[in-house]
Structure 1
Amino acid sequence: MSTAVDTQQLATVPAPTAGPAPADITPTDLRALALVAEGRSMRQIGRQLGCTPGAVQTRLWRLRQRIDARSPAHAVAIAYRTGLLPITDMQAGRTTTGTREEQA
């Protein structure tokens, strides 16, 4: 059995997509999710938002339910893919949109 990927089979696998963002996502929800994307802990996010780590956990759980995300990482991926969170160039501190190919 070969472990090589058959490109014809790979072409039939649909790209992951996310549905439209619900209207009830607040700026605070997005700020919390952006902090998750930065690798911040619940305690650090709570300090930034002025609430407890438990409140952050609840906020993120409810957000995940609204966008049908299976995990915090999946929620971040959906947010980037749908444009809820802008893609930033960490080194330059710039906000970008589109793929690198589109920017070239």
Structure 2
Amino acid sequence: MPSKKKKYNARFPPARIKKIMQTDEEIGKVAAAVPVIISRALELFLESLLTKACQVTQSRNAKTMTTSHLKQCIELEQQFDFLKDLVATVPDMQGEGEENHTEAGGEKVPRRFHI
């Protein structure tokens, strides 16, 4: 007899999401569908962020999405305001020479995402 347990299709691992959720002491049991819904919400959020970051990248005539493009996207879109602290240390875009990022010691840091 086949199992009656439902299988959900999720792009982010629901077990990992559940584990993260349960690190909060105030969260008790979590229904099986909750991590799947969180997974879908995460997918939609990332799609929105990356679509807008892609627009920034294309508006700069760049072929490589960098952390600077993500920073500009986060600063321009009000819905991403909660991420501003995360990108505060990312260097601002610098014209056409933005492909080479360096740290204080002069060491090159790869910060590219090919689109």
> Which of the five TM-score ranges fits, normalised by the shorter chain?
under 0.3
Bigger radius of gyration: 2
What TM-score do you get using the length of structure 1 for normalisation?
0.28
What TM-score do you get using the length of structure 2 for normalisation?
0.26
Larger RCO: Structure 1 or Structure 2 (Cα < 8 Å, ≥ 6 residues apart)? 1
